[in-house]
Amino acid sequence: MAINHTENQPLIELQGVTKVYGTGQAAMHALRGIDLRINEGEFVAVMGPSGSGKSTCMNILGCLDTPTGGIYHFKGIEVGKLTRTQRTRLRRFYLGFVFQGYNLLNRTSALENVELPLIYRRVPAGVRRARALKTLETVGLKGWESHTPGELSGGQQQRVAIARAIVTEPAVLFADEPTGNLDTARSREIMDLLSGLNRDRGITIVMVTHEQDMATYAKRIVHFLDGLVAVDKQNGGTT
């Protein structure tokens, strides 16, 4: 896959993206035509009420789902024209995911969970282990490597999930309500961690949340309403 990415090109560009679930009378229009550009290094919070299409948009951005209409460019590549395998490779090499429900493998140690994406990247065992350990340390889980998700608290599980997402050093980190299952104190820790990663490592972060508190950590906030972008502003001022 050839990536012709240039400086002035946005990392992510959506043009009139729509998503329809079902057909005919029962058709549900989740996205009605989204235009969105996200540049490298941004920290974007996507907000909106339930059913406004923010999660659907996120799944399309993460190449987990395909749009019904419109065009999605990632690093200048038209994602809609890629095959399933090519989209998987895109996820494997450029994208990282953090979900509200953590989505860790059960009965699998934190270390093994973090190693998983590296296995699919064919990283040799020794390097893999070293990187996974280092990343777990970064998210503050040194000493918890051999614990399974069942033995970790929600906040710790989400840290493992974040470690798993960033261990590959992705171009973009997609986080779908990463603090949705956590109390305020744990939520703040997670948000500090994310904004730190954005600030220090320059990882682009796109985060879905419905909590205003969490959105304030982002540099830019996009509001969704009824499948359309309602407000798009820099944090502190409208663009």
Q: Are 210 and 49 in contact (CB under 8 A)?
A: yes
Rule CB under 8 A: which of 52-111 touch another protein?
59, 62, 64-66, 84-85, 88-89, 91-93, 95, 97, 99, 103-108
Beta carbon nearer to another protein, 8 or 83: 83
Q: Are 1 and 77 in contact (CB under 8 A)?
A: yes
> Residue from 122, 185, 200, 239 that binds another protein (CB under 8 A)?
122
Beta carbon nearer to another protein, 71 or 116: 116
Residue 5: other Cβ atoms inside 10 A = 14
22 binds another protein (CB under 8 A): no
Beta carbon nearer to another protein, 38 or 61: 61
Residue 111: other Cβ atoms inside 10 A = 21
User: C-beta of 64: minimal distance to another protein in Å?
Assistant: 4
DSSP secondary structure of 69-137: EEEEEETTEEGGGS-HHHHHHHHHHHEEEE-TT--PPTT--HHHHHHHHHHHTT--HHHHHHHHHHHHH
Binding positions for another protein, rule: CB under 8 A: 59, 62, 64-66, 84-85, 88-89, 91-93, 95, 97, 99, 103-108, 112, 116-117, 119-122, 164-165, 168
